[in-house]
Amino acid sequence: MKQILIGALVTGGLLISSMADARSYQRVYNGNNDGAGSLRAALDNGATTIKINRSVSTISLTEPLYYNGERKLSIIGSGQMLDGSALVGNADIFTVSNGADLSLSNLNFVGNMNEVNEVPSNPVGGKGIYVSVPVNRTGVVKVSLDNIFVTRVGNHGVHISDCTLGDDCGGGSGGGGEGSPASVYVNANKLTINKVGFGKSDADGLRVDDRGEGSIYFYANNSSFLNVGADGVELDEGNDGFVVADVRNSLFDSNGEYCNLIPFVAGGPCDDDGDRDVDDGFDIDEAGAGSLFARIRNTRVTNNFDEGLDFDEEDGDSIQVWLANVYAAGNEDEAIKMSEEDDGDLRAFMRSVTTVNNNGSKEGIELEEEGVGDVAVTVLDSNMIGGGDEELKVEQGDEGVGTLKIRRSTIGALDLDNVDEI
């Protein structure tokens, strides 16, 4: 009797486990908005690993998709389009509402925004992928985007928000809101974001906001950020924590034009002290305790409407940046700008960096340390050839040591402030 009871318990346990596994893994058999076999049904049923059959080419959405669970969600496609052209108003295509880890592969997200909204105070269009992090989240929120394409959304293409104010979070030390203790980790491989962010001001291709104690880790490989209304990528860490960015084999092109395309209104969202608030190819803002570390390799930064690369750190820690095989041309402001605004060091190593015709052939690269801290810049095998006068500007604005080492490079002009060339 005892053996029979134990056997029943074991068999029952295996059956329950098998049923749970069946619920957690589901296939999508059709492209319907809802109903049996749809992506929405799999999400509603609690599936955490979802594979879309190759026979499905387009998933036609009339309502946004949501995942409200806490376990990691994986959606595996084979090139399917999630068609959000029929979504109403400012609806996002896909939202993860509880800060779960997310893995998406081989999918295309297409929104409903084809025009430029000329009234930025009345935003038009939603986001492609939105991950909202609750204030009680701990550990690391991991988002993996592999061979993902996002287009035609009026707001951010991809937004990971660890900020209680959502889209009103703001940037750097000027931003508001609170956040969780969790860090945010984004791994983008073959991610393409093109023609998004023209439904409001400050709508980026990919944006990460962190307002708690955690840090931001961003890795991109073979990825492109093109024709975005605001920044191609913006990483915004506004409290304790640091930023680590590693970008390889990628492209930031023609981003930041939105505020040039609409009527200018003094005091409006596009007013930047009387100028139009155009944006960058790749923007990092780090404020509060923590440093900024970035490594950019084999990457092109071209034709952006403000800076190409714009990295800012404030509140006492440091910037350390490594650039190798970077080509930056035709950006309306500096090709590369780094600013360390308080006490802390700025260290930049640049090898095989080429800048051409940026900032009206003024500063091609501007590196500045405004408080107490050292500046150490090394330039090897590089060329700054825009108009003959495109400057390399390096500034140490307070107490500290400034050094610049140039080897085997052609520089249009040098502008050094409290910095010695060695």
Cβ atoms of 231 and 282 closer than 8 Å: yes
Torsion of CA 219, 92, 210, 245, to 10 degrees: 10
131 φ, ψ to 5°? -115, 115
Q: How does DSSP assign 147-213, residue by residue?
A: EEEEES-SS-SEEEEE-TTGGG--SGGG------S-EEEEEEES-EEES---SSTT--SEEEEE-SS
DSSP assignment of 382-404: -EE-STTT-EEEEEE-SSS-EEE
Ranges of each domain in the chain: 27-421
Question: 85-111: per-residue pLDDT in tens?
Answer: 999 989 999 999 999 999 999 999 999
Tens of pLDDT along 118-132?
Answer: 999 899 999 999 999
What does the pLDDT look like over 131-159, one tens digit per residue? 999 999 999 999 999 999 999 999 999 99
Confidence of residue 17 (pLDDT cuts 50, 70, 90): very low
* Structure confidence by residue, pLDDT tens digits, 352-367: 999 999 998 788 999 9
Q: Where are the beta strands (DSSP E) in 202-345?
A: 206-210, 216-221, 224-226, 233-237, 243-248, 251-253, 271-272, 275-276, 282-286, 292-302, 309-313, 319-329, 336-340
Q: Specify the pTM.
A: 0.93
pLDDT per residue over 39-57, tens digit each?
999 999 999 999 999 999 9
Instruction: Tell me the CATH number of domain 27-421, given options 3.40.50, 1.20.120, 1.10.3470, 2.160.20.
Output: 2.160.20
For the stretch 239-256, pLDDT in tens is 889 999 999 999 999 999
